[in-house]
């Protein structure tokens, strides 16, 4: 199978803070509603209306992979993801401690670590997010998408500046 | 399982806490949320209970589907005897509190007694603790919540709180959660204040097992697609509820200058597009936010652009603030609406009641019934923005004669003001009307006259009556899940068939309130949105409970009848202008002055209105006084109420 080269792309500006992604994630993976079991979590600063979904970045040089003492964590290049082999995992939580994004969690009920597996290439959080604050895009296009957004902002700012100048 | 969520009983006088399961037979009869709250209220209070005394019972709940894979299951319901109306107190809010309560293991919290000093409840993974609130008492709505999070050391805690208005026993104080979500009618925050209860703080990490997860997810996806494809929800998701005020105002269906006009002219600055512009300027292009699991995201974010509160962050305004602080007092400035909205959000006070009462006082002031003596020197004329904002604060802190008087609610205020002030008070059962004017729409007028919590647009409003849907479409909607072959009219000014529509909508809204779903996800503003048939499936997929659409309808009817029994026990009489299924005389006597040709000159016809009431009672199986007949109670299994099963 060819690598699909897709990655989760989070555009937090679009996030409405509804947390449907958390619900869907825990139902898909565990058959329960429980954000504590969700691989994606929306971090909130309610006093200023700021909502930022956080999930695994599926790093190339993943700290969780490097720190694992039993080599239970590896990269799956086909789906551009980092996976945990539960037959090897000893539940030491070193990966939880080292992840710079807090994307590796520990399930206190099942006593095991868990992280985003991009739902085997069809991430359900993306499917349910109407706003596409969470999207699944070609890694090569990521930069282009960000460039388009930034270019649009620059263009709008330029026009606004021209209006202000004309009014002055 | 959703069905294993518990009821927590808390006695604030004794500190006693008891936790019980909810038996399956009770679930099948009342489901949860508002319906089960109504059962509990009727069973746990005695006739004539003092709304502000320790014997009043305060109920918080999520619906049976809260936090499950059904769309927008965010609603928290709050119930007690109302200190505003002396009848049923019932209010509902979105946000994230009810889901957190469910993850903490509870669907219902029953609060009795009165704490000796301020306290709050800490509800955490199956446990309830009463905690000291001395460091939180006196704080605003948002400050209280952030202080509780600091104290508990957990940013994920969700709170339902009362603000300063509740502490000061303003009779229409809200229960609130987050920045602006308000259980904002009938004074439930006032009941919290009377019990020295500052907040409920919930946090949970307990699984809610979904009965059939794959089916629940896929059905939810279909549900969401249906909901976001409705044009009305797309507009809600862009402009929020202000779009409704804008549309009805251009047609002539809103109140302006209390009830003098039915259209607010030259109101460009408070039109939805202008409010949207301010949100864009102060927040950015993505400024809409939503409640738990909801894809409609009808709530705007904004910062106040100028004035004494410039830069403050808030959410909304809903059309209620636009009506209450814009149209009704005739203050046509966006900054005034946004500031008024912010003040009531911080105080925890019903925007709708506050604005309505101030507009009423403005009319009395212009008529000379109130003078500068009563207003403590305030020039309370219509269109005086500063006076409006000043009055909001005076009511919350009971400052001055008029502030203190209005804080007691419309009817007690009218008795204190005297003269013919009551004639100008736009209320039903002691609660102020929404900013809408129902003189051109008999169906909507009947709805507010008969609503079980007093004048209200969220109890039974057949809003789709304004769309002039073809009769066959109406038959399809209103002919299920119980057959109906009586009259139905596409004409919004007609009286025919409207009692059935109101009756049907009552059951529909009771249905969502029992399930814990938002009304934007049912037949409220969108004619194509889900109701009984879909609920039957969504209930099964999530909880495993097998109920037909007809059985869910029966639950709704049963619960509505319990609310009726409660109101009758507390003194509701059909024609009583203060406690009845009535309207202010101006609906009958003063024709609409402005608006579209189908509005100008309209009044409600007294005789036809009474006929609608008769017919509405008949649909319910109530006698001509509006009392449920013995056979109706028997049919619904209510003949032994109060039955004290829970």
Chain A CB contacts of B103 below 8 Å: 33-36
Which residue of chain B has the CA closest to A12? B286
Of B155, B205, B224, the CB nearest to A34: B205
Task: Please tell me if residue A29 touches chain B, with a CB cutoff of 8 Å.
Answer: no
DSSP state of B284: -
Residue A1 clears pLDDT 70, i.e. is over it:
no
What CATH number has the domain spanning B442-635? 1.10.599.10
Task: Please tell me if residue A128 touches chain B, with a CB cutoff of 8 Å.
Answer: yes
Joined tokens for residue B421: 């002030």
Whole-number pLDDT of residue A3: 64
pLDDT band for A5, please (50, 70, 90 cuts). confident
Task: Please tell me if residue B223 touches chain A, with a CB cutoff of 8 Å.
Answer: no
Could you tell me which of A116, A100, A98, A156 has the C-alpha nearest to residue A9? Answer: A116
Task: Please tell me if residue B206 touches chain A, with a CB cutoff of 8 Å.
Answer: yes
Host H or E run for residue A4: none
Residue B151 clears pLDDT 60, i.e. is over it:
yes
pLDDT band for B1, please (50, 70, 90 cuts). confident
CATH code 3.30.365.10 for B2-203: no
Pairing mode, strands B58-62 and B76-81: antiparallel
Distance from CA of A95 to the nearest CA of B (A): 22
Joined tokens for residue B292: 């738990």
Distance from CA of A130 to the nearest CA of B (A): 7
B189-216 pLDDT per residue, tens? 999 999 999 999 999 999 999 999 999 9
Q: Are B198 and B117 in contact, with CB atoms under 8 Å apart?
A: no
Which residue of chain A has the CA closest to B293? A20
Disruptive mutation site among B104, B125, B208 for chain A (greatest number of A CBs within 10 Å): B208
Any idea which residue has 């007694």 for tokens? B113
Of A27, A36, A108, the CB nearest to B217: A27
Residues with Cβ within 8 Å of residue A106, at least 6 apart in sequence: A91, A93, A96, A112, A113, A114
Average pLDDT value for residue range B163-190? 98
In chain A, where are the structural domains located? Answer: 6-139
Residues with Cβ within 8 Å of residue B185, at least 6 apart in sequence: B90, B91, B172, B350, B352, B353, B431, B453, B454, B456
> How far is B445 from B116, CA to CA, in rounded Å?
44
CB contact under 8 A, A33 and B283: no
Disruptive mutation site among A12, A14, A23, A36 for chain B (greatest number of B CBs within 10 Å): A23
Of A18, A28, A131, the CB nearest to B293: A18
> How far is B108 from B77, CA to CA, in rounded Å?
9
B84-121 pLDDT per residue, tens? 999 999 999 999 999 999 999 999 999 999 999 999 99
Q: What residues does CATH 3.60.9.10 cover in chain B?
A: 2-203
Task: Please tell me if residue A33 touches chain B, with a CB cutoff of 8 Å.
Answer: yes
Could you tell me which of B165, B163, B161 has the C-alpha nearest to residue B202? Answer: B161
Chain B CB contacts of A48 below 8 Å: 313
Could you tell me which of B58, B77, B60, B317 has the C-alpha nearest to residue B193? Answer: B58
Task: Please tell me if residue B568 touches chain A, with a CB cutoff of 8 Å.
Answer: no
Disruptive mutation site among B293, B294, B345, B517 for chain A (greatest number of A CBs within 10 Å): B293
If you average pLDDT over every residue of chain B, what do you get?
97
CB contact under 8 A, A18 and B297: yes
pLDDT band for A112, please (50, 70, 90 cuts). very high
Joined tokens for residue B621: 């199986």
Whole-number pLDDT of residue A168: 78
Could you tell me which of B294, B292, B297, B250 has the C-alpha nearest to residue B272? Answer: B250
* Triad B496, B501, B502: Cα angle to 5°: 110
Whole-number pLDDT of residue B277: 96
What class does CATH assign to A6-139? alpha beta
CB contact under 8 A, A18 and B207: no
Task: Please tell me if residue B141 touches chain A, with a CB cutoff of 8 Å.
Answer: no
B539-573 pLDDT per residue, tens? 999 999 999 999 999 999 999 999 999 999 999 99
Three-state DSSP at B161 gives strand
Chain B CB contacts of A124 below 8 Å: 217
What CATH number has the domain spanning B241-432? 1.10.569.10
Whole-number pLDDT of residue A2: 62
CB contact under 8 A, B206 and A34: yes
What DSSP line would sit under B630-642, residue for residue? Answer: HHHHHHTT-TT-S
Task: Please tell me if residue A160 touches chain B, with a CB cutoff of 8 Å.
Answer: no
State the angle between helix axes of B532-543 and B498-515 in degrees (0 to 180), rounded to the nearest 10.
10
Distance from CA of A66 to the nearest CA of B (A): 30
């Amino acid at each position: 199978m060819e690598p699909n080269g897709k990655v989760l792309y989070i555009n937090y500006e679009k996030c409405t803070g509804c947390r449907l992604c958390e619900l869907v994630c825990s139902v898909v993976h565990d058959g329960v509603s429980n954000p504590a079991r969700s691989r994606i979590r929306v971090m909130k600063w309610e006093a200023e209306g700021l909502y930022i979904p956080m999930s695994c970045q599926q790093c190339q040089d993943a700290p969780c992979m490097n720190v694992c003492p039993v080599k239970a964590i590896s990269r799956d290049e086909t789906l551009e993801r980092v996976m945990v082999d539960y037959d090897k995992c000893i539940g030491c939580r070193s990966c939880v401690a080292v992840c710079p994004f807090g994307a590796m969690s520990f399930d206190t009920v099942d006593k095991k670590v868990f992280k985003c597996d991009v739902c085997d290439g069809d991430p359900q959080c993306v499917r349910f997010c109407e706003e596409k604050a969470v999207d699944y895009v070609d890694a090569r296009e990521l930069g282009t998408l960000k460039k388009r957004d930034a270019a649009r902002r620059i263009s709008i700012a330029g026009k606004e500046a021209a209006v202000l100048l004309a009014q002055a | 399982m959703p069905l294993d969520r518990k009821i927590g009983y808390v006695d604030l006088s004794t500190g006693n806490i008891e936790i019980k399961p909810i038996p399956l037979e009770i679930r099948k009869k009342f489901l949860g949320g508002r319906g089960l709250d109504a059962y509990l209220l009727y069973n746990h209070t005695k006739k004539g209970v003092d709304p502000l005394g320790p014997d009043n019972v305060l109920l918080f709940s999520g619906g049976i589907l809260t936090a499950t894979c059904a769309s927008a299951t965010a609603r928290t319901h709050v119930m007690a005897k109302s200190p505003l109306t002396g009848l049923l107190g019932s209010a509902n809010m979105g946000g994230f509190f009810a889901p957190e309560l469910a993850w903490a293991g509870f669907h219902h919290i029953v609060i009795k007694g009165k704490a000796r000093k301020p306290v709050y409840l800490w509800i955490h993974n199956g446990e309830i603790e009463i905690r000291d609130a001395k460091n939180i008492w006196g704080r605003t709505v948002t400050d209280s919540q952030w202080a509780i999070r600091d104290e508990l050391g957990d940013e994920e805690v969700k709170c339902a709180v009362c603000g300063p208005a509740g502490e000061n026993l303003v009779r229409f104080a809200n229960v609130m959660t987050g920045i602006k979500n308000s259980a904002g009618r009938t004074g439930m925050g006032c009941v919290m204040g009377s019990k020295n209860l500052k907040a409920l703080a919930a946090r949970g990490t307990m699984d809610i097992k979904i009965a059939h997860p794959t089916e629940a997810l896929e059905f939810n996806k279909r549900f969401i697609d249906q909901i976001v494809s409705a044009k009305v929800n797309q507009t809600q998701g862009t402009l929020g509820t202000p779009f409704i005020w804008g549309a009805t105002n251009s047609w002539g269906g809103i109140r302006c200058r209390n009830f003098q006009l039915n259209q607010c002219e030259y109101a460009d600055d408070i039109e939805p597009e202008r409010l949207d512009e301010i949100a864009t300027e102060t927040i950015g292009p993505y400024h809409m936010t939503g409640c738990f699991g909801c894809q409609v995201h009808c709530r705007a974010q904004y910062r106040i652009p100028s004035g004494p509160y410039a830069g403050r962050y808030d959410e909304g305004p809903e059309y209620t603030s636009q009506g209450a602080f814009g149209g009704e007092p005739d203050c046509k400035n966006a900054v005034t609406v946004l500031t008024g909205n912010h003040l009531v959000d911080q105080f925890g006070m019903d925007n709708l009641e506050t604005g309505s009462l101030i507009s009423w006082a403005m009319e009395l002031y212009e008529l000379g019934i109130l003078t500068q003596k009563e207003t403590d020197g305030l020039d309370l004329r219509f269109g005086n923005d500063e006076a409006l904002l000043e009055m909001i604060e005076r009511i919350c802190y009971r400052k001055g004669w008029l502030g203190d008087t209005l804080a007691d609610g419309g009817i007690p205020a009218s008795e204190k003001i005297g003269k013919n002030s009551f004639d100008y008070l736009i209320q039903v059962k002691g609660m102020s009307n929404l900013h809408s004017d129902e003189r051109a729409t008999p169906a909507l007028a009947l709805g507010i006259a008969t609503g079980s919590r007093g004048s209200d647009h969220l109890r039974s409003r057949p809003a789709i009556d304004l769309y002039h849907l073809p009769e066959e479409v109406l038959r399809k909607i209103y002919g299920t899940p119980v057959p109906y072959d009586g009259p139905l009219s596409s004409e919004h000014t007609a009286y025919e068939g409207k009692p059935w529509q109101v009756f049907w909508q009552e059951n529909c809204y009771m249905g969502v309130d029992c399930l814990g779903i938002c009304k934007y996800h049912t037949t409220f503003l969108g004619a194509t949105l889900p109701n009984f048939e879909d609920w039957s499936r969504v209930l099964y997929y999530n909880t495993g409970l097998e109920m037909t659409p007809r059985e869910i309808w029966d639950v709704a009817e049963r619960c509505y009848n319990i609310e009726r029994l409660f109101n009758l026990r507390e003194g509701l009489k059909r024609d009583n202008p203060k406690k009845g299924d009535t309207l202010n005389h101006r609906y009958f006597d003063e024709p609409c002055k402005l608006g579209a040709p189908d509005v100008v000159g309209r009044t409600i016809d007294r005789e036809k209105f009474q006929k609608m009431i008769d017919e509405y009672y008949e649909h319910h199986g109530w006698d001509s006084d509006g009392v449920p007949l013995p056979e109706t109670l028997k049919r619904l299994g209510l003949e032994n109420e109060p039955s004290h099963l829970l």
